[in-house]
Amino acid sequence: MTQAADHDFAPDSVLKLFGIYLPEFDENYMYFSESNVTADFMVDSLEDLWPSIKQRINPHTIVINADNGPENSSRRTQFINRLVDFGANESVNISLVYYPPYHSKYNPVERVWGVLEKHWNGQILDSVEKVLGLCRTMSWNGNSPVVKLIAGIYEKGVTLTKKAMDKLETLLDRIPGIEKWALDIPCYEEY
């Protein structure tokens, strides 16, 4: 008689996932970290993807629909700081639009996660290679995602001082009435 295993097998690493979905093209980008999914990790992922977007589309504005989680909130100082820097460095305007709490069903990337979970259902995810490989072999509307492991340590709790954030706030156009849920970051040459 064999006793059943009631816990996960000892993985060689624990990965955290951050995804970017481009609905117009049905393209998915899955970024993994062995560290934390922080504001810096999210913007580093965007910076990794940006050259491809710029080459193909060269947009003057990008719209980011986000879930308003703790690391990418419109009040998260490091997230806003990194996006202001990104917009200035790349000469692109950024519009942040957040889904309301408990409305993840409207976020298209959540459907991608559902397909991924179904794809690797029953698999023992006990190595980095296994996780990345399974992600690469899934399909969303006929397209496989681009999957990357981002190396580095991402520290939680990185924040700006109130004075620094007050300066950044002068650069933001918060949408009246829904200031917490929608804002524009015009690109500034210098700030």
Question: Considering only CA atoms, which of 106, 113, 121 is closest in space to residue 145?
Answer: 113
The CATH number of the domain holding residue 61 is 3.30.420
Summarised one tens digit per residue, pLDDT across range 32-42 is 999 999 999 99
**Domain for residue 10, yes or no?**
no
Coil, strand or helix: which one is 170? coil
Strand order in the sheet with 93-98: 61-66, 93-98, 182-185, 173-174
The pLDDT of residue 126 is: 87
Handedness of CA 154, 156, 162, 166 (dihedral sign): positive
The pLDDT of residue 124 is: 87
Q: Could you count the other beta carbons within 10 Å of the beta carbon of residue 42? A: 25
pTM exceeds 0.85, yes or no:
yes
| Model confidence at 154: pLDDT above 70 | yes
Q: Which domain holds residue 59?
A: 16-185
**Domain for residue 2, yes or no?**
no
**Domain for residue 5, yes or no?**
no
Residue 6: pLDDT band with limits 50, 70, 90 = low
Contacts for 89 with CB less than 8 Å, ≥ 6 apart: none
Provide the number of structural domains found in the chain: 1
Tokens linked to 176: 């009246």
**Domain for residue 85, yes or no?**
yes
**Domain for residue 3, yes or no?**
no
Coil, strand or helix: which one is 2? coil
- CA-based diameter of the chain, in Å? 70
**Domain for residue 75, yes or no?**
yes
Four-CA torsion 108, 113, 118, 121, nearest 10 degrees:
-170
What number is the average pLDDT over the span 112-130?
92
Q: HSE (CB half, 13 Å, CA atoms) of 176?
A: 0
**Domain for residue 32, yes or no?**
yes
**Domain for residue 190, yes or no?**
no
Summarised one tens digit per residue, pLDDT across range 51-82 is 999 999 999 999 999 988 889 999 999 999 99
